Amino acid sequence: MEDDADIYDGIRAQFPLTFGKQQKSQTSLEAIHNATRRSTTAAAASNNNKSSEGLPSLSSSSSKAWLDSLRNSKPPNPNPNDSVIGPPRPPPGPVPDEDDDGVMVGPPPPPPASGDDDDDDVMIGPPRPPVGPSSDSESEEEEENRYRIPMSNEIILKGHTKIVSALAIDHSGSRVLSGSYDYTVRMFDFQGMNSRLQSFRQLEPFEGHQVRNLSWSPTSDRFLCVTGSAQAKIYDRDGLTLGEFVKGDMYIRDLKNTKGHISGLTCGEWHPKTKETILTSSEDGSLRIWDVNDFKSQKQVIKPKLARPGRIPVTACAWDREGKCIAGGIGDGSIQIWNLKPGWGSRPDIYIEKSHSDDITGLKFSSDGRILLSRSFDGSLKVWDLRQIKAPLKVFDDLPNHYAQTNIAFSPDEQLFLTGTSVEKESTTGGLLCFYDCSKFELVQRVGVSPTCSVVQCAWHPRLNQIFATAGDKSQGGTHVLYDPTLSERGALVCVARAPRKKSVDDFEALPVIHNPHALPLFRDQPSRKRQREKILKDPLKSHKPELPITGPGYGGRVGTTKGSLLTQYLLKQGGMIKETWMEEDPREAILKYADVAAKDPKFIAPAYAETQPESIFAKSDSEDEEK
């Protein structure tokens, strides 16, 4: 028995402590989505008629089937009779007798006629659908249901300390990039995030420069980061720097002769089809096309057409859907479009003069390349038909805009386009997302995103069917994700339903014990001087304060204005016993006054040489020589 117990313990040691325990029931989908449900009254009508049945928990096997049934069901409508397309189903026939065994072969018999047997009452073809009561409110709800805007629920990707000015979602919808005026870029991964919604990486592309635009490559393996500096950067999917484009010489007058931009960048976008080509615009008044394989030189320099020579900044740029056309918004209010063709130059193919009265902040092509949307600081959004550029098709006003990165976005089916608004000082509406119909050119809906923060960038992802909107102010910033559990897929649905992982016993890691942590001088702390200072303070001699000199007469045993510091020296000097006369005497006279005494009474060397030493003769001082 002891051997069996040992074998069991040995095998059990190979498995974690939580092995074999029953998993706790998780939070139901109903509670999860109710927690993220938007409280605004501007939600779509389709969200007001949700099924009241209990939603299964994530741990049950019917959760996926429940979501599929909701997505495959018909769109909710206040009047179910109005949503019937085609003839109604024929009413059930009479109950068959027991002799027929309950089996009905063929279509059911027609209903019995309620009128006369005349031929005039015979109805040929399916009956008309019943007409229900209609009202204006129901027609408005039907209109909203037609667009199916996913906006019933909302999550916020936080982390920035200032307004979020740049947004990019990769083509698969798994990773989101957000750039801010706090000089940082945050990377979010829906597949790896839990309900805490924390970013997995934070970058600072250029110290002290705002992030102005972000753009994924067509293959989503790299992304472009445009900041307020003159050099754009390329990062890989994990946030590692791949390269930085060269900066041009600011002292060269002609911009075509510089190797790169010489002033801060304003916008940038990756080519929609070619993964090696990007486009950037700058405050130096040029657009440049770059090859990501060569960071030292650009492929093409585009100088916009100007009314008079000078350097006017290019505030916005954009590719069309196929990458065969470039649009640029110029600081003088004009929109210029270039077609990429053999031998093309800086002369624009389409020139829209004075399209806006202020700087242009965003440009967007339609998929067919015929419609161009423009957004500006003047608080307007204009729709242009590139075949007739004399006047815009439609102008939408009352759209305040205070940020140079405010853009426009299309819905996946291009039935709608949307843009954000900024918060004004005296306004109480807050930041809004405005949806417009592409065919009727009319406002469809306004969605409140934040009561105090402005909405800058927006996007409607085609695969996720979720709407992204960046907002913020001087002290905070975040990315709002609007979705609908019945219409959206993956993205926010994945991370919201994933609870944070709880710490278990298996996560415990015993740290190694370091017995001599400061053995190496590199890791040794500086010795503390505290004990040494305390010891010195206790010593009466070392802690004695130096005495200041006395200017007057001395007292308390201290000598005042004397040349010596001892009392005996002071007394001798005052009594005349010590006289220092060497400073007033002539050195020659001081030596000669001992000449007679040395001659009469020699004591040291003179007696030894008395017989052989010649007589010393000293020259007498001549007053005339001294004067000379």
User: pLDDT band at residue 46, thresholds of 50, 70 and 90?
Assistant: very low
* Segment 181-231, tens digit of pLDDT: 999 999 999 988 888 889 999 999 998 899 999 999 999 999 999 999 999
Mean pLDDT of all residues belonging to the chain: 78
Better-scored residue on pLDDT, 231 or 52: 231
For the chain, what percent of residues have pLDDT higher than 90?
Answer: 36
CA separation (Å) from 360 to 174, 267, 282, 608? 31, 11, 13, 115
Cα(216)–Cα(172) distance, integer angstroms: 11
pLDDT of 81 over the 50 cut: no
DSSP type of residue 70: H
Q: Which amino acid is at 31?
A: A
Q: For 56-60, 375-379, 586-590, which range has the lowest pLDDT when averaged over its residues?
A: 56-60
- The better pLDDT of the pair 556, 462 is held by 462
Who has greater pLDDT, 88 or 492? 492
Contact at 8 Å (CB) between 472 and 162?
yes
Class of domain 148-497: mainly beta
381 versus 139: the higher-pLDDT residue is: 381
Closest CA to 166 of 78, 294, 274, 265: 265
Task: Calculate Rg over the CA atoms of the chain.
Answer: 46
Assess whether pLDDT exceeds 70 at residue 143. no
Residue 407 pLDDT more than 90? yes
Mean per-residue pLDDT, 8-27: 59
Confidence check: pLDDT of 168 > 90: yes
How large is the average pLDDT for residues 381-405?
91
- Quote the tokens at residue 453: 């923060």
Give the pLDDT of residue 236.
93
Contact between 319 and 271 (Cβ < 8 Å): yes
Does the pLDDT of residue 419 top 60, yes or no? yes
For residue 576, name the pLDDT band (cuts at 50, 70, 90): low
Separation of alpha carbons 193 and 198, rounded Å: 7
Please, what sign has the CA dihedral across residues 251, 255, 260, 263? positive
Question: Which pTM does this prediction carry?
Answer: 0.64
Question: In the predicted model, is pLDDT for residue 11 greater than 80?
Answer: no
| Lowest pLDDT segment from 262-276, 425-439, 522-536 | 522-536
